[in-house]
Amino acid sequence: MAQPADTARTVIMTVDDDPGVSRAVARDLRRRYGASYRIVRAESGASALDALRELKLRGDLVAVILADYRMPQMNGIEFLEQALDVYPGARRVLLTAYADTNAAIDAINVVDLDHYLLKPWDPPEEKLYPVLDDLLQAWRSSDFRPVPSTKVVGHRWSSRSSDLREFLARNQVPYRWYSADEPEGRRLLAAAGEDGLRLPVVITPDGTPLVEPEAVDLAARVGLATTPTADFYDLVVIGGGPAGLGSAVYGASEGLRTVLVERSATGGQAGQSSRIENYLGFPDGVSGAQLTDRARRQASKFGAEILTAREVTALEVNGAARIVRFSDGSAVAAHSVILATGVSYRQLAAPGCEDLTGCGLYYGSALTEAPSCQDQDVYIVGGANSAGQAAMYLSRGAKSVTLLVRGPSLSASMSHYLIQQIEESPNIRVRSRTVVEAAHGDGHLERLTLRDVDSGQTEQVDAQWVFVFIGAAPLTDWLDGTVLRDERGFILAGPDLSADGRPPEGWELDRPPYHLETNVPGVFVAGDARSESAKRVASAVGEGAMAVMLVHRYLEQS
């Protein structure tokens, strides 16, 4: 008897130009295998190839293809030869008359034919089913794996491909990566009707190809929420890092109708960390991705909405409402807002760095690139905890890791436990008082020019992998004219709003601003975006929770 397939979406295909024969083959196949496999029939080689391409895009599996030899326009051998490019793992059977036996034998060499069946095959219990049972058993026992539902085809040294892969990975969307230069990548591009000139191409779970998709379009197609379900909320949280996730968890769990808006992926800089070892309650450490995933699921459990790939461009005050505007012109309103926009890594200003970003030079840990660093020489620019965590993670597989630090040592910016780990790692080297003077490469990073800060001397080193963690720039320009910020762009709140302790200009309430409240009543700040914040995950989460407490106090007095 037929055994269950590895997946309910596994297909047995039959192709015959004679409608009567086609129906007879499909009937016999369904009688024996219909409970475990999907039977698909086609009446021409061209229509069968179209069906195979659609199945490929959807991620369905094809176990066996049976094709009649004598078909017009495209005979069975020609069809199976092209089908081999779409589903190389499928078992191939040629249906032929006795007079065409020689052609069937020749096809064994042309298309690596697995079997040929003489027509008619009655009774199928003797002549058809035993053959297919053996072929299906061989297919199931082969090292064949289903393709994950989302597929990405791109170039290895492409910043757009790198950004897209990082977006999917950080949003916990399973995907499979294919290089456009490799056979399977070319097959997917052909199935999608693309020639590879525009990349990356994403094939969604329903088989739809997206060419060079924008983040918001991709997010909607892979199941991430991008549109709020209501027009008005108790609380809008802007930013999905530790502070924003903390606010969402505490806001929703305490009964506030809460929506969190994130422009790229939840987790922020902390979400890119390979391992956080000094976070309370995790003595063995926790990766940023794990911490983010747990917090996101926790916020959703309590009822918070989480919107991804939505960029906020303005904050407006309209009476008691606080209006948050998006880049597409739409808006959402709320009684209160928590600004948890976090910070981004500063960009290297050295010549060549901008052109090679995403092509060997990456900002943040770019964990999707880590497997490619196996047995390679890796450079990390920066001397804070994020740089140290990345160095320890990459050192597990890299040939060597070199930390380039502008300052005289790591002690001024990195936690002691990380410094100790780095000192004990034989393949990590620290070069202090060293900066990147230039980056060089044709299409991808090949070399760096390094400069000694004290002597001014420069040298060139071979480098294909550089990860940059230099300083932090707040993402607050869109607040200009509404919310007060310091000279570096960090948001002022509470007692920091004025030097003499008086309420800020324009403040109309009888009370002074609460500790995390900005100059706009009902608008609070938490985490790294706040002026003079601690820049630690634990403090960001704590401020997110405290901000919700102050939101409650504000709403009670409004």
pLDDT exceeds cutoff 90 at 453: yes
Sign of CA dihedral 369, 371, 377, 378: positive
3-state secondary structure of 346: coil
- Are 362 and 347 within 8 A, CB to CB? no
Domain ranges of the chain: 10-141, 151-217, 232-344+473-557, 353-470
pLDDT, tens only, 276-302: 888 899 888 888 888 998 899 899 999
Pairwise CA distance, residues 498 & 504, whole Å: 6
CA nearest neighbour of 526 among 553, 545, 507 = 545
Distances (CA, A) of 402 to 281, 376, 451: 31, 11, 14
pLDDT exceeds cutoff 80 at 537: yes
3-state secondary structure of 145: coil
Average pLDDT over residues 205-233: 92
- As a CATH number, domain 232-344+473-557 is 3.50.50.60
pLDDT exceeds cutoff 70 at 13: yes
Q: What is the pLDDT of residue 103?
A: 62
On the question of a common fold for 151-217 and 232-344+473-557, the answer reads no
How does the average pLDDT of the chain come out, rounded? Answer: 90
pTM over 0.85, yes/no: no
Residue 554: φ, ψ to 5°: -65, -45
Q: What is the pLDDT of residue 107?
A: 60
Distances (CA, A) of 294 to 50, 222, 259, 301, 415: 42, 20, 17, 10, 25
Q: What's the burial of 245, exposed, middle or buried (CB within 10 Å: 0-12/13-18/19+)?
A: buried
- Are 76 and 94 within 8 A, CB to CB? yes
Enumerate the H helices of 59-178 as residue ranges: 76-86, 101-110, 124-127, 129-141, 159-170
3-state secondary structure of 478: helix
pLDDT exceeds cutoff 90 at 2: no
Average pLDDT over residues 361-387: 86
Find tokens 């040294």 and name the residue.
157
What stretches of 158-216 adopt beta strand conformation (E)? 176-179, 201-203, 209-211
34-38, 144-148, 309-313: the lowest-pLDDT one: 144-148
pLDDT, tens only, 470-510: 978 898 999 999 999 999 999 999 999 987 778 888 898 99
pLDDT, tens only, 202-218: 999 888 899 999 999 99
Cis-peptide, bond into residue 123, ω within 30° of zero = yes
Distances (CA, A) of 94 to 51, 70, 141, 142, 420: 18, 10, 22, 21, 66
Average pLDDT over residues 237-243: 97
CA nearest neighbour of 228 among 196, 192, 275, 260 = 260
Average pLDDT over residues 537-549: 97
pLDDT, tens only, 418-439: 999 999 999 999 999 999 999 9
pLDDT, tens only, 254-282: 999 999 999 999 998 888 787 888 889 98
Does domain 10-141 fall under CATH 3.60.20.10? My reply is no
Pairwise CA distance, residues 32 & 41, whole Å: 15
3-state secondary structure of 261: strand
pLDDT exceeds cutoff 50 at 4: no
Enumerate the H helices of 373-457 as residue ranges: 385-394, 416-423
CATH class of the structural domain 353-470: alpha beta
CATH architecture of 151-217: 3-Layer(aba) Sandwich (3.40)
pLDDT exceeds cutoff 80 at 104: no
Question: In which order are the strands placed within the sheet that holds 377-381?
Answer: 361-363, 465-468, 377-381, 400-405, 428-432
Residue 302 CB coordination number (10 Å): 16
CA nearest neighbour of 533 among 341, 364, 349 = 341
Q: Confidence band (pLDDT; 50, 70, 90) for 6? A: very low
Which pair of tokens denotes residue 487? 């000279």
- Residue 269's identity, in one-letter code, is Q
Which pair of tokens denotes residue 488? 């570096």
Q: What's the burial of 416, exposed, middle or buried (CB within 10 Å: 0-12/13-18/19+)?
A: exposed
Average pLDDT over residues 152-166: 91
Percent of residues, the chain, with pLDDT higher than 70: 94
Residue 420 CB coordination number (10 Å): 10
pLDDT exceeds cutoff 70 at 3: no
Please count the helices (runs of H) and the strands (runs of E) in the chain: 16, 26
Better-predicted residue by pLDDT, 142 or 4? 142
275-279, 365-369, 435-439, 461-465: the lowest-pLDDT one: 365-369
Q: What is the pLDDT of residue 5?
A: 41
- Are 234 and 333 within 8 A, CB to CB? no
Distances (CA, A) of 70 to 18, 22, 43, 45, 429: 10, 13, 12, 11, 68
